[in-house]
Structure 1
Amino acid sequence: MEVSLLSLVMGSITSATIGAAARLGVADALEDGPATGAELAKTVGADPDALESLMRAVTALGVFARDEEGRYTNSPLSEQLRTDHPESIRHLTSLLCGLYAQAASGGLTQAVKTGTSVMPHAFGVSLYEYLEKDAETARIFDLAMQDWARPIGAVLAEHVPFENVRTVVDVGGGNGALLKAILSAHPHLKGVCVDRPDTCRRAEAGLRASGNEDLIERLSYQPSDILREVPEGGDLYIIKNVLHDWSSESGVRILSNIRKAMCAGADTGSTSKLLVIDPLKEHDSGAAFRNVIKMVVGEPNTLERSEADIRREAAEAGLQVLSITPCPADLSVAECVVAESA
């Protein structure tokens, strides 16, 4: 199929249009059935004429649909923009089409010239500094990471042997979506979610508000700067979609801190393992664009890692990679143990 340059350039407008529909919650508003543009506008709190223009655009893209009476409905694509859909990417769409797109449009050219991260050029601060100042964007970011974690969480819960595991520590685990999937499937487990203080604070409040007494009892949040230290006490450590946002030097530092935490249990007879879950060149169909996303929000000098890179960084951190397995969502799982020479 022939693609024109203009159609590619217009992609930013297309992305912004879908992102606005996601942010407004249009798919949720249509969950109970068709609605006119005016009815939708009232439900989502928008200007009727402006929303009509937006809906005509997203319908033309096939993201939503329109019935014979001119009412808007969800389509197979827009169903994934529903908050309660099992494969929802509503908040991930809001993040990618919102903050990330704004940052790229405002600072990508300068970042490419200088080889630095986009965020400081676009907003004057790093991603995490920005999130600390913008509570609503921080909330969307947490939920977007949940959307990203959901598919791999189900895979791990089903395929990883947890019989001899008591405590799982998720390093950089966001709001704990991955651990929630694992703990829900394995009632004997406890989980510790490690992340920045503000992320842990929001996540803990959200968990308590959920009223899920079982998870409240078994899931805890521990603020930590993973470049400095990682909590001890885990039988299984997981780090998912974290390393690709950091340079090789920082990645080795993070892995070294995890290895130190794993070694802390050696005196009690515990033999901890680590699962490094990240996109790797050999198994990542979206590597080209993922590298641009890393330029937008990651540390300078972050590039897509290969299997050889992961093995090298693990070895420098005192870890041995036992196996690397491709998984859904273009991710790979590297199973690691503490190296005998460490």
Structure 2
Amino acid sequence: MTITASGSLPPSAPVAVQILDLLMGGWRAGVVSTFAELGVADGLAAGGLTPAQLAVRLGLEHDTAERFFRAGASVGLLRRGEHDTLELTELGRALASDDGSMRNFARWTGSTAERATWAHLATAVRTGRSPFAAMHGSGVWEFMESDPDTAAVFNSAMTELSKRVIQPVIEAFDFSRFSSVTDVGGGRGALLAAVLRKHPEMTGVLFDQPDVVSRSLPELSDAAVAHRVTVKSGSFFDGVPSGSDLFMISNVLHDWDDGRSRLILRNIAEAMHEGAHIAVVEAVAGLDDTADKAISLMDMDMLLLCEGKQRTVEEFRLLMAEVGIELVGVSRAGLQSVVEGRKVSGETGTPGSPRSR
């Protein structure tokens, strides 16, 4: 039987071929990750080279490199030019080290921390628990602290992804209604900087761990908004700075189970004055079939790494209600959505109260 390497088969293909093609998706991902790890796109940045020349530039064994470049072409990263030279396709160029790159995200998905953990998906589904600590000796966040090289790749990967989230979010959500915003778990401030740049009348607070916000000044300065940002450090598990009209939290809650997410939301709710709003930026499950094809896989990744989850609107509604926040709307922003809530009158939920589980 004939098998394609493109990941796209006609509906008439035999079922066995379709299953095999699905299973080969992991192999294709491995080629992409290795292409990024080896720096193939950077090696070809100055122009086409023969396989032998590129192997020498990258320090690769010649015959094996030739076979790997063939695999790279099969998944659409390379093409053959004149005189048997290799050239980058548009997909291949996206793995070069530049501002529009996806290189570090590809490197992260190929890392032992990520890919080897996926081998234990069955265990995670059976138990509802992440196998990460059993495999690597500690939970994912502790692992990052102990392995700075992996942490650097992971942090760069998350930065690459966040840059693709920012523009759709600031276009989809009406920030102009607010005079001040606190970005909870805001990292180095890329999303906050974009919001403030678009809305020059707003002020902001950037809140995250001390070692994270200590590296925020270049991001804020490049956006010319540093003078409108107050940087505060701490853990959102302990508390959140109060005073803003809007509290924004982007791609944080999916890292945590319901209990920890509820605690984060409760701390935000306690920092909100009555009528203040919250904007939760996440890939929300269950909104449409096309997005769910990606979000359902993201959900499994969250389960594997940290027992987190991609939630539905109703799941967000319930979590918010338990801490005194009313869900008032959902704005689609590409694959992401902005789930908006408003602080309602009364005390936030406490353990043992009707609002808590």
* 1:291 equivalent in alignment to 2:299: yes
1:65 matched residue in structure 2: 79
Q: After TM superposition, give the deviation of residue 93 of structure 1 in Å.
A: 1.8
Q: After TM superposition, give the deviation of residue 229 of structure 1 in Å.
A: 1.3
2:114 matched residue in structure 1: 100
2:224 partner SS: helix
* 1:83 equivalent in alignment to 2:97: yes
The answer to which of 314-323 and 173-182 deviates more is 173-182
Q: 1:311 aligns with which of 297, 311, 317?
A: 317
1:119 matched residue in structure 2: 132
Distance, in Å, in 1 between the alignment partners of 2:223 and 2:77 is 38
Distance, in Å, in 2 between the alignment partners of 1:337 and 1:237 is 10
Larger Rg computed on CA atoms: 2
- Going from structure 1 to structure 2, the CA distance change for 1:109 and 1:272 (only over 3 Å counts) comes to same
**Cα deviation digits, residues 245-280 of structure 1 (max 9, x gap):** 2222222211111111223xx6xxxx5321011222
Unaligned 5+ segments in structure 2 are 1-9, 348-357
* 1:227 equivalent in alignment to 2:237: yes
- Going from structure 1 to structure 2, the CA distance change for 1:182 and 1:79 (only over 3 Å counts) comes to farther
Q: 1:256 aligns with which of 245, 261, 266?
A: 266
Give the partner amino acid of 2:158: M
2:40 matched residue in structure 1: 26
Give the partner amino acid of 1:95: W
Task: Indicate if the aligned counterparts of 1:146 and 1:175 stay in contact, CA closer than 8 A.
Answer: no
| Identical-pair percentage | 29
- Going from structure 1 to structure 2, the CA distance change for 1:273 and 1:41 (only over 3 Å counts) comes to farther
Distance, in Å, in 1 between the alignment partners of 2:190 and 2:156 is 9
Task: Indicate if the aligned counterparts of 2:193 and 2:220 stay in contact, CA closer than 8 A.
Answer: no
Distance, in Å, in 1 between the alignment partners of 2:188 and 2:40 is 24
2:192 partner SS: helix
Give the partner amino acid of 1:236: L
Distance, in Å, in 1 between the alignment partners of 2:259 and 2:220 is 39
The answer to which of 176-185 and 129-138 deviates more is 176-185
2:242 partner SS: coil
* 1:335 equivalent in alignment to 2:348: no
Q: 2:279 aligns with which of 269, 275, 280?
A: 275
Distance, in Å, in 2 between the alignment partners of 1:222 and 1:339 is 26
Give the partner amino acid of 1:317: V
**Cα deviation digits, residues 173-207 of structure 1 (max 9, x gap):** 23333223323434444443333344444x34xx4
1:182 matched residue in structure 2: 195
Unaligned 5+ segments in structure 1 are none
Task: Indicate if the aligned counterparts of 1:238 and 1:274 stay in contact, CA closer than 8 A.
Answer: yes
1:320 matched residue in structure 2: 326
**Cα deviation digits, residues 220-257 of structure 1 (max 9, x gap):** 65432222212224332211222222222222211111
Give the partner amino acid of 1:223: S
- Going from structure 1 to structure 2, the CA distance change for 1:340 and 1:288 (only over 3 Å counts) comes to same
- Going from structure 1 to structure 2, the CA distance change for 1:125 and 1:273 (only over 3 Å counts) comes to same
Give the partner amino acid of 1:22: A
Aligned residues: 328
- Going from structure 1 to structure 2, the CA distance change for 1:246 and 1:31 (only over 3 Å counts) comes to same
Q: After TM superposition, give the deviation of residue 31 of structure 1 in Å.
A: 3.0
